[in-house]
Amino acid sequence: MSPIDSQTQVAPSQPLARRLGLFDATMLVMGGTIGSGIFMNPHVVAQYVHTSSLVLGAWIAGGVIALTGAFIYAELADRMPQVGGQYAYLRETYHPLLAFLYGWVLLLVIQTGGMAAVTMTFSRYFLELSGVHAADWQIAVVTLTILTVINCLGVRTGGTVQSVLMVIKIFAILLLVGAGTFLVKTSLFHFHPVIGQPISPNLISSFGAAMVPVLFAYGGWQTACFVAGELKDPRRNLPRALVLGVIGVALLYTAVNFICLRVLGVAGLAQTVTPASAVMRSALGPTGAKIIALGIAISTLGFLSQSVLTAPRVYFAMAKDGVFFRQLAWVHPGTRVPVVAIMLQSVWTVVLLSRDYAQILNYVTSMDWIFFGLSASCLFVLRRRNPGGAQIRMPGHPVTTALFCLACAGVVANTIYTQPRDTLIGMAILAAGVPAYFIWKRTARA
């Protein structure tokens, strides 16, 4: 069964241009993952588990889960190297409605809500470092405008800016690790006690709670799949970029947490809201704190740049399928990018700048991880349809794939339990997409 009726498809004026290589794709994977979370979340994890071994173990476990997901998506990308990533996987495997609902909440909640929060974070750091007299929302709008223009100039231009920002981001993290290793002489990291208490349901519950901010920090690598239509040799480069990028992120995250534990100790880490700044202050004094603040600002800017580049390709794919505004399928004949889709996402992000970010991020989480698990489950169906069909294979499937889907379900269940009201808002936005889908289908056929 063809998932999309040929009568409803809308042809773009030009195809997307394949101008991104393996390095660009790897930087997109890492750039979509590393934001400000790694500089803040170690503090949250240390509040739940109280030994160095458990804190470090949580981040290593998060890296294993993320790498498992990367291998799943690597096989999916090998089987379906199509623009839109998760949107295409859900459309081809299950039903166009499910794919549309993913794109619907991606635009209204997941991507733009996260971008709004990250943009405001960058604005506050920029104002603090520069001393410019302006409102944070004004800096946010200017920043979004600049990144939108850059990405409308072409995927090569946007990819280059993203790669440069990612390299600077990696340098900032390595500077933090180096300063904590060589400029702070006393180490407070201890492998013993390993767990600090007998194994009990309470310990398991605490470790599970600690995993939530860890998995949040590891999220975002899958967005690189959105630009499969603009990668050179996507069946080869995208799977490799997913695996290499996630391994790189896991190594950086583990190193940062080891340094935070070495300099601050587990008790000090639990009491320090800004552990990266505390480490740099211990190593280099006030100058070190300013340096890492600049690093965090660049990190958030790099994450935002990656978001502006990748997600509009989903809206482009929806418009091509005739289930969204047809103008979003238009590709500029010169730059060969979906400029209308890019602009729409940035405009909606500006609208969300005035919203309650804590609330937005709560229902961003529930929606994001629902579709994370659903997309991974596509592998079960695709393996049954075509047992071969892929050069990249998920190791340990179906057990490893099932465990990853269970981890996604656990994150969603935790969000429902802790934030039922906000989760209900997200579900309502999701449900509103059902009639919207059928309205667009009817309009396209008419």
**10 is a domain residue:** no
Residue 22 lies inside a defined structural domain of this protein: yes
Overall average pLDDT of the 186-192 stretch = 86
How confident is the model at residue 4, as a pLDDT? 40
Tokens at residue 366, please? 């529930």
Asked if residue 12 belongs to a domain, the reply is no
Residue 318 CB coordination number (10 Å) = 29
pLDDT of residue 196: 74
Is 7 among the domain residues? no
Average pLDDT in the 427-439 region? 93
Confidence of residue 357 (pLDDT cuts 50, 70, 90): low
Q: What is the mean pLDDT of residues 175-190?
A: 91
Instruction: Please tell me the total count of domains within the chain.
Output: 1
Compute the chain's Rg from CA coordinates.
Answer: 21
pLDDT at 383 exceeding the cut of 80: yes
Mean pLDDT of 299-315: 90
User: What's the pTM value of the predicted model, to 2 decimals?
Assistant: 0.85
Residue 11 lies in a domain: no
Query: Could you tell me if residue 268 is inside a domain?
Result: yes
Domain assignment of residue 35, given as a range: 17-441
Helix (H, G, I), strand (E, B) or coil at 20: strand
Contact 317, 88 (CB under 8 A): yes
CB 115, CB 35: distance < 8 Å: no
| Measured distance CA(249)–CA(29) in Å, rounded | 9
Cβ contacts of 44 within 8 Å, gap of 6 or more: 210, 213
Q: Considering only 14-18, 118-122, 191-195, 245-249, which range has the smallest mean pLDDT?
A: 14-18
- Average pLDDT over the chain, rounded to an integer: 87
- Residue 119 sits in a domain whose CATH number is 1.20.1740.10
Q: What pLDDT was estimated at residue 358?
A: 60
> DSSP labels for 163-216?
HHHHHHHHHHHHHHHHHHHHT---------SSSSS---HHHHHHHHHHHHHHHH
User: What pLDDT score does 5 carry?
Assistant: 39
Q: What is the pLDDT of residue 114?
A: 81
Let me know if residue 138 belongs to a domain: yes
Question: Tokens representing 169?
Answer: 């981001």
Residue 232 in any domain: the answer is yes
Tokens of 163: 């790669």
What percent of the chain lies above the pLDDT cut of 90? 47
Q: What is the mean pLDDT of residues 29-46?
A: 87
Q: Give residue 244's pLDDT.
A: 95
Structure tokens at 115: 């971008």
Tokens representing residue 186 in the block: 């006393």
Tell me the per-residue pLDDT of 106-132, one tens digit each, with 9 for 90 and over.
999 888 888 888 888 889 888 888 888
CA 108 to chain centre: 16
Q: What's the average model confidence in pLDDT over 53-69?
A: 93
Confidence of residue 381 (pLDDT cuts 50, 70, 90): very high
Which residue do the tokens 């300099």 mark? Answer: 263
Say if residue 11's pLDDT is above 60: no
Angle 48-50-51 (CA atoms, 0-180°, nearest 5)? Answer: 135
The per-residue pLDDT for 189 is 86
Alpha-carbon separation of residue 180 from 63, 275, 349 (angstroms): 22, 11, 37
